[in-house]
Amino acid sequence: MRPKKISTPNELSDRDRDRWERHKQSNRDRETETRRT
């Protein structure tokens, strides 16, 4: 097993990548909401 190292989505497992994508998406939505207000 390789040591767990989070650096880029390419190195993440599928589950972690999904969480990563969702996290980025939520951050992006939050930024747009804040900017829109």
CB-based contacts of 20: which residues, under 8 Å, 6+ apart? 9, 12
Residue 7 DSSP class? S
> Identity (one letter) of the amino acid at 27?
N
**Mean pLDDT computed over every residue of the chain:** 73
- Verdict on whether the full-model pTM lies above 0.85: no
For the chain, residues with pLDDT lower than 50 are none
Q: What is the C-alpha separation between 16 and 8, in angstroms, rounded?
A: 11
